[in-house]
Amino acid sequence: MEGSPTHRAISIEFVSYNGVDVVKTWPAEIVAAQGLLEIEIEGQLFPRVAYGQEPFWAEVNPTYASNPCHDCGIVAGQLHVPDCDVEQCPRCQTQLITCPCTITSPVQNEPDPVLEPEKTPDNT
């Protein structure tokens, strides 16, 4: 029959992770996120809050962590992928992406920029 939605005209491939459809590259992001144990906020390091340990969300729905994270697909006990809208700020205990804290290091180490030595002309 014509018009049946069997074909998805999207170029991004999805895979199932913890039963959640995620972009194909996402599981690697989740694995990487598990190694990011701390987040730097305004110059201070805070341990990140694992899924299922957010009192902020437990208040809204006490069983929220019985399903994988609706945003990043992790399960209880795992750490959210950076920028997940469920992650709780360890500093002010509210939603990390909307809280007023300034994240000074977004959980990844940026390489130091290589400073070029000043060129001093030899011929005077």
The helix/strand/coil state of 64 is helix
Q: Which residues bind Zn ion (CB under 5 A)?
A: 69, 71-72, 80, 84, 86, 89, 91-92, 99, 101
Our CB check for Zn ion shows the closer of 7 and 106 to be: 106
**Secondary structure element (H or E) that encloses residue 103, with its range:** strand 103-105
Calculate the dihedral angle through the C-alpha atoms of 95, 97, 100, 102, rounding to the nearest 10 degrees.
Answer: 130
Our CB check for Zn ion shows the closer of 24 and 83 to be: 83
CB of 33 to Zn ion, least distance (A): 9
Residue 87 vs residues 3, 11, 44, 119: alpha-carbon distances, Å: 40, 28, 18, 47
Our CB check for Zn ion shows the closer of 17 and 111 to be: 17
CB of 43 to Zn ion, least distance (A): 14
Residue with tokens 């690697």: 28
φ/ψ of 32, rounded to 5, equals -65, -40
Quote the CA–CA distance of 75 and 78 in Å, as a whole number: 6
Our CB check for Zn ion shows the closer of 29 and 71 to be: 71
CB of 109 to Zn ion, least distance (A): 21
CB of 110 to Zn ion, least distance (A): 21
